[in-house]
Amino acid sequence: MSKIILSGVKPTGRPHIGNYFGAMKQFVDLQNSEPEAIKYFFVADYHALNLIQNAEEMRQHSRDIVLDFLAIGLDPNKSIIFKQSDILEHTELCWIFDAITTVPYLKRAHAYKDAVAKGGEEIINVGTFNYPMLMAADILLYDTDLVPVGKDQKQHVEFARDTAEKFNRVFDSETFKLPEPYILPNVEIVPGTDGQKMSKSYKNTIPLFADDEEIEKIVMGIVTDSTGEKPQNVYNIHKIILSANNASDVVQDKLQKIYEENKGKYKNLKEILIEDLKNFIRPLREKRAELAKDEELVNNILKVGREKAGPVATEKMKQIKKAIGVI
Ligand code: ADP
Ligand code: TRP
């Protein structure tokens, strides 16, 4: 049986280098290193609905994510690229999981706890609360073995495992496989320009397709600690960027040389980082701009993806419906 790899990204705006190094780069690396595996990468548009409640924005961001996927190297001939809302079985299976999941269990979710801490329970919508069950459905519907994600999604993959086990137990069946998260330890938390985890919500991101001017402005604004000789926030981002195209010992050597030669000269170090960032981002940005010229590309790719993923989901759903006794 082929190994199954699956992951999704919410269409919530421009991806940043934290999303790329933490998760999306692994999609491409796995796509190319696992030719025998079946790979699914999808636009998690229903997951984004908790945040994006504007039709034009949703449409635009969803199209953008597909272009982002292609620009970083996902290839529709090697991977199945689809949109969550195109495959009705995702939400259908979510409902089935709701029926076997308790409220206290979902209250353990980090994302839910964070939302409560921020705004209180009253303002949390049911979709946010139920988010892990839709994600479990996304994963389990395709008999997924491996889920490449950033570290903050680990608990969600564990919820999917628990839900698979619970379903199999309740309905005395072997309907679902138990998925494993795939998280690379050296990039599990990519730091932002202020040293905290890079995140859209902290406004400390470097967009993956930033233009040169934007890169200059962002890097010059990186928070530096004036007590040390090495500006740690600059260094950490530099390390990640160089690791895109170099082995870790090469990165180590290069950085050691640069930071030794420019001890205490923060401006020089930032300028070197700017150049390295520009060189890393430029080809991605140019490829993306080229792809965006083809108005039909995204629709065509999503159509092919729907045609490939749809029958798999339908087949699995039959098995699930038999297990619960609705057919
Ligand atoms: P954000 O925090 O900017 O809203 P998302 O929650 O949309 O990002 O994350 C999308 C994917 O990127 C997830 O798999 C997440 O784990 C990963 N990710 C996001 N930020 C980082 C980061 N700073 N380091 C590593 N992975 C990240
Ligand atoms: N929750 C993920 C995120 O915020 C996106 C996602 C939705 C996902 N469904 C998924 C990731 C299934 C992996 C597998 O990034």
Q: Which CATH number fits domain 200-290: 1.10.3300, 1.10.240, 2.60.40, 1.10.10?
A: 1.10.240
Looking at the CA of 151, which ligand is closest? 1
Spatial neighbors of 116 by CB under 8 A, at least 6 apart, are 124
State phi, psi for 40 to the nearest 5 degrees.
-120, 130
How confident is the model over 289-294, as a mean pLDDT? Answer: 98
Distance from C-alpha of 14 to C-alpha of 102, rounded to nearest angstrom? 35
pLDDT for the residue numbered 227: 67
In this structure, the strands spanning 38-43 and 4-9 are parallel
pLDDT for the residue numbered 264: 86
pLDDT for the residue numbered 202: 93
How confident is the model over 135-152, as a mean pLDDT? Answer: 97
Please give all residues whose beta carbon lies within 6 A of any atom in ligand 2, as ranges.
6-10, 44, 47, 135, 138-139, 147, 149, 153, 156
Residue 18 burial (C-beta neighbours within 10 Å; 0-12, 13-18, 19+): buried
Q: How far is the CA of 59 from the centre of ligand 2 (A)?
A: 18
Binned at pLDDT 50, 70 and 90, residue 67 comes out as: very high
pLDDT for the residue numbered 226: 63
pLDDT for the residue numbered 141: 98
pLDDT tens figures, 77-132: 999 999 999 999 999 999 999 999 999 999 999 999 999 999 899 999 999 999 99
Distance from C-alpha of 230 to C-alpha of 258, rounded to nearest angstrom? 11
Domain ranges in the chain? 4-188+295-324, 200-290
CATH topology of domain 4-188+295-324: Rossmann fold (3.40.50)
Distance from C-alpha of 22 to C-alpha of 63, rounded to nearest angstrom? 22
How confident is the model over 10-29, as a mean pLDDT? Answer: 96
How confident is the model over 212-219, as a mean pLDDT? Answer: 98
Looking at the CA of 200, which ligand is closest? 1
- Best of 6, 52, 152, 241 to mutate for ligand 1, by most ligand atoms within 8 A of CB? 152
Lowest mean pLDDT among 76-80, 226-230, 283-287: 226-230
How confident is the model over 177-196, as a mean pLDDT? Answer: 93
Q: What is the mean pLDDT of the chain?
A: 96
How confident is the model over 229-249, as a mean pLDDT? Answer: 91
